[in-house]
Amino acid sequence: MRRCCLVVLAILLPPVAAHAEGSLLDRGEALLQKGSSSGANLSTGDIASGLKEALKVGTGRVVDTLGRVDGFAKSKDVHIPLPAALHTVQGALKKVGMSKMADDLELRLNRAAEAALPKAKQLFWNAIAAMSLDDARAIYNGPKDAATQYFKNKMSVPLANDMRPIVDRSLAEVGAVKSYEQMMARYKSIPLVPDAKADLTNYTLDKAIDAAFLYLGREEAAIRQDPAKQTTALLRKVFGH
């Protein structure tokens, strides 16, 4: 298989004198070796900086995509449903013709996530800057979302702690807290319903962070593979080969 590839490469090359360039197979071999070692000359520092730059640029694009009206609400893959703990409430309200209260709360949870992400962008960037990329070359040579997964594993907990107050405020600002209180009051007025409650802040926070990492992984893959996405000199240096 490798010999076939070498022959194809050699055939595609412009003709030159045999004594100057060697055999067709030798020329094909040289091209393959050059391509396979294209990242070998990058320093670990270059690679680490490039990975951080990819995450920073990718995060900016994620915020632009999700942190706008309907970024979550009309997304097919990160729309935030009601917490499972409120499904009983939703079902009971539907039976008495009040399902719109649950629908309203669901929409406001999505609005809170949309409002929180732009406010939290700097937190993401600070966390990226603080990352230790001792395994930079392994991450660079790893799967197309390797840097995102490393970031997620290392920084999810401190990032969530910093984002929690932002999400909490966003829930209040978009009216989700008030909507929840009104819905629960109506639910509790129905005879013989079981107790139910939900932690809206932690639930919305977890969904927002999961969505951000999902989209960030896609952005990282695009930056690695698509020259059009390599929008800075550093990205072109590290991934442009």
188-241 tens-digit pLDDT: 999 999 999 999 999 999 999 999 999 999 999 999 999 999 999 999 999 997
133 falls in which pLDDT band (50, 70, 90)?
Answer: confident
Q: Which residues contact 154 (CB under 8 A, 6 or more apart)?
A: 131, 132
Q: At what angle do helices 24-36 and 2-12 cross, to 10 degrees?
A: 100
Check pLDDT > 50 for residue 31: no
Residue-level pLDDT at 33: 39
The Cα-based distances of 74 to 66, 84, 110, 190 in angstroms read 10, 20, 9, 32
Q: Give the model's confidence band at 39: pLDDT under 50 very low, under 70 low, under 90 confident, else very high.
A: low
Per residue in 89-108, pLDDT tens?
A: 999 999 999 999 999 999 99
**Token code pair at residue 229:** 């996405």
Whole-model pTM? Answer: 0.82
